[in-house]
Amino acid sequence: MSPRNSALEAGRTRRRIVDRGLELSSVEGLEGLTIGRLAADLGMSKAGVLGHFGTKESLQLAVVDAAAEQFMHEVTQPARGIPPGLAHLRALCEAWVSYLERQVLPGGCFFTAAAAEFDGRTGPVRDAIAAMDALWLRDLGIHIRRAISAGDLPPDSDGDQLLYELAGTMLALNHHLQLHHDRRASTHARRAIQRLLTPDPALKALR
């Protein structure tokens, strides 16, 4: 069972390694994740783990990919059916809050942690993290502009400003949940989102 696995078995083992690596690195960091501990945790040898990736950096890149996949599945999937505009944007934000609230990963948001860990470095891992973060922000920005042009938000709204403040809301949620175990944080996050994503009532009256 151990040596000479089929390609299918090897693929499954690779997934097990990456999935567990994602969980561990959300707690210990992506650099703090070591091949030895990951192998011990999975009941494998170090060489058995490393054989699937070649280098630690390649393993880290696989973990970043898996994190992006999980995040997209958890946050964009629940909003799939909802029509574009403000309703869709609200659904994305609610799924985002829920994702952090349910602590899908033991260490909270992988990208928040990885961004803080790698933002001062250079190389492919830092680039991959920054690219994924930028991709999600871009995606969110599209939904914001769609909500504005649909008339769901005031036409003079600053989309970039709104995007910035939504991102801050989620960073604060992760921070308060992980560092202070403050469960009121999700209430604060939902209130902030509610305020950011409610059309100005004064402008509404003008229509």
Which residue is associated with the tokens 């070649």? 54
Structure tokens that stand for 63 in this block: 């973990």
DSSP string, 106-171: TTS-HHHHHHHHHTT--SHHHHHHHHHHHHHHHHHHHHHHHHHHTTSS-TT--HHHHHHHHHHHHH
> Which of the choices a second copy, DNA, none does residue 167 contact, using the CB cut-off of 5 to 8 A by kind?
a second copy
Choosing among a second copy, DNA, none, which partner's interface includes residue 47 (Cβ < 5 to 8 Å by kind)?
DNA
Look at residue 10 and give the partner it binds from DNA, a second copy, none, a contact being a CB closer than 5 to 8 Å depending on partner kind: DNA
Cα(53)–Cα(142) distance, integer angstroms: 35
CA–CA separation, 26 and 17 (whole Å): 14
What's the rounded Cα separation, in Å, for the pair 94 and 90?
6
Stretch of 33-41, 149-157, 159-167, 179-187 lying at the interface with DNA (CB under 7 A) = 33-41
Q: How far apart are CA 168 and CA 12, in angstroms?
A: 37
**46, 146, 175, 190: residue in contact with DNA (rule CB under 7 A):** 46
Distance CA 22, CA 67 (A): 7
CB of 157 to a second copy, least distance (A): 12
Task: Figure out which of the listed residues 49, 50, 113, 140 binds a second copy, where binding follows CB under 8 A.
Answer: 113
For DNA, give the closer residue by CB, 54 or 83: 54
Instruction: Give whole-number Cα distances, 107 to 48, 89, 139, 152, in Å.
Output: 26, 26, 25, 35
Give yes or no for residue 52 binding DNA (CB under 7 A).
yes
Determine, following the binding rule CB under 8 A, whether residue 104 of this chain makes contact with a second copy. Answer: no
169 near a second copy, rule: CB under 8 A: yes
Q: Name the minimum Å distance from CB 74 to a second copy.
A: 19
Decide which of DNA, a second copy, none touches 185; Cβ closer than 5 to 8 Å per partner kind. Answer: a second copy
Can you tell me which residue has the tokens 């871009």?
138
Binder among 19, 27, 41, 51 for DNA (CB under 7 A)? 51
Q: Quick one: which of 44, 26, 8 has its CA closest to 35?
A: 44
What is the binding site for a second copy (CB under 8 A)? 26-29, 31-32, 106-108, 112-113, 115-117, 119-121, 129-130, 133-134, 158, 160-161, 164-165, 167-173, 175-176, 178-180, 184-185, 188-189, 191-192
What is the binding site for DNA (CB under 7 A)? 2-3, 5, 9-10, 13-14, 33-37, 39, 43-52, 54-57
